[in-house]
């Protein structure tokens, strides 16, 4: 399977869109390949110009039509099985980037994009289907700069996200709210509406991803006590259970996912 990625550097988009990416290739129709999407606190918009994807979890990704779907920010991993022709092009949104494109709460994704945007998405999908990866990125960039509304910025949310990343997720919701001068209730509403998950879950995702990156980067056995101390856990079982709650895998098992779909989306 081939994977290409381009980090977004466009001044208008770089605070809301992390990257464009493409997966392509052919996979045996009988066996297929299982992939695991682990939470990153991102929303993904994916265009599928290949074979249909099989969902291995009860909760499916939100489909806008059979070939366009959104992987929303979620609190636990999702699994898929890919077979046949693989031809996926994706846009990875950070913060409330997808909200600024949709101009409606993330919870309404299941109902599709607003009518005016839906037609544009369909037209974009048709255009992307015949382009090379480099031309797809330019096409997507033109679409986003024309439709993503940065006037919808929320300074408290942007500052909260910055604080969470700076602290590696080791911070309480009340501390975040105090630092951005909003109530905890208002902070909860901002995260749920604009990103799709609670600030507590977002902190947990960032915290777990930091030490999952550490785990995946190691070729030798992980020093668990180093992680316990670094991330202020009570003990090793507490840390391992939190990894399991996000990844649905034990930390040691995660090492087998190095260089897979999860690792590519770091």
Instruction: Compute the CA torsion angle 201, 91, 45, 196 (nearest 10 deg).
Output: 20
What structural domains does the chain harbor? 2-151 (2.60.120), 155-264 (1.10.10.60)
pLDDT tens-digit readout, 162-217: 999 999 898 999 999 999 999 999 999 999 999 999 999 999 999 888 877 777 67
Mean pLDDT of 1-18: 93
Handedness of CA 37, 66, 192, 154 (dihedral sign): positive
Handedness of CA 246, 251, 254, 255 (dihedral sign): positive
CB-count exposure of residue 45 (10 Å: 0-12, 13-18, 19+): buried
From first CA to last CA, the distance across the chain in angstroms is 18
Q: What is the pTM of this model?
A: 0.87
pLDDT tens-digit readout, 145-156: 999 999 999 999
**Rounded to an integer, what distance in angstroms lies between the CA atom of residue 203 and that of residue 112?**
28
| Cβ(246)–Cβ(204) below 8 Å | yes
**Rounded to an integer, what distance in angstroms lies between the CA atom of residue 19 and that of residue 146?**
17
Q: pLDDT band at residue 263, thresholds of 50, 70 and 90?
A: very low
The DSSP letter of residue 94 is -
Q: How far is CA 36 from CA 8, 109, 140, 189, 261, in A?
A: 24, 22, 25, 29, 7
C-beta atoms surrounding 144 within 10 Å: 23
**Range from 53-57, 82-86, 123-127 carrying the lowest mean pLDDT:** 53-57
Q: pLDDT band at residue 265, thresholds of 50, 70 and 90?
A: very low
Rounded to 5 degrees, φ, ψ at 113 are -75, 160
pLDDT tens-digit readout, 120-147: 999 999 999 999 999 999 999 999 999 9
Question: 131 in helix, strand or coil?
Answer: coil
pLDDT tens-digit readout, 153-171: 999 999 999 999 999 898 9
Q: pLDDT band at residue 243, thresholds of 50, 70 and 90?
A: confident
**Rounded to an integer, what distance in angstroms lies between the CA atom of residue 86 and that of residue 69?**
15
C-beta atoms surrounding 5 within 10 Å: 16
């Amino acid at each position: 399977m081939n994977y290409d990625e381009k980090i977004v550097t466009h001044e208008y988009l770089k605070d809301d869109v992390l990257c464009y990416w493409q997966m392509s290739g052919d996979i045996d129709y009988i066996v297929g390949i299982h992939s695991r999407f682990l939470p990153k606190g991102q929303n993904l918009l994916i265009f599928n110009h290949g074979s249909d994807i099989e969902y291995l979890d009860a909760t499916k990704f939100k489909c806008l039509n059979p070939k366009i779907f959104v992987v929303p920010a979620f609190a636990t991993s999702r699994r898929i099985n890919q077979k046949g022709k693989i031809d996926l092009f994706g846009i990875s949104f950070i913060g409330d980037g997808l909200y600024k494109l949709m101009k409606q709460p993330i919870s309404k994704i299941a109902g599709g994009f607003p009518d005016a945007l839906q037609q544009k998405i369909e037209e974009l999908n048709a255009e992307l289907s015949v382009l090379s990866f480099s031309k797809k990125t330019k096409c997507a960039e033109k679409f986003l700069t024309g439709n993503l509304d940065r006037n919808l910025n929320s300074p408290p949310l942007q500052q909260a996200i910055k604080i969470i990343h700076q602290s590696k997720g080791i911070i309480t919701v009340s501390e975040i709210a105090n630092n951005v001068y909003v109530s905890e209730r208002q902070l909860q509403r901002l995260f749920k509406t604009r990103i799709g998950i609670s600030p507590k879950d977002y902190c947990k995702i960032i915290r777990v991803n930091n030490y999952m990156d550490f785990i995946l980067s190691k070729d030798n056995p992980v020093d668990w006590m180093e992680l316990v101390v670094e991330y202020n856990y009570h003990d090793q079982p507490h840390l391992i259970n939190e990894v399991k709650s996000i990844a649905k895998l034990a930390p040691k098992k995660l090492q087998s996912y190095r260089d897979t779909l999860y690792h590519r989306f770091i």
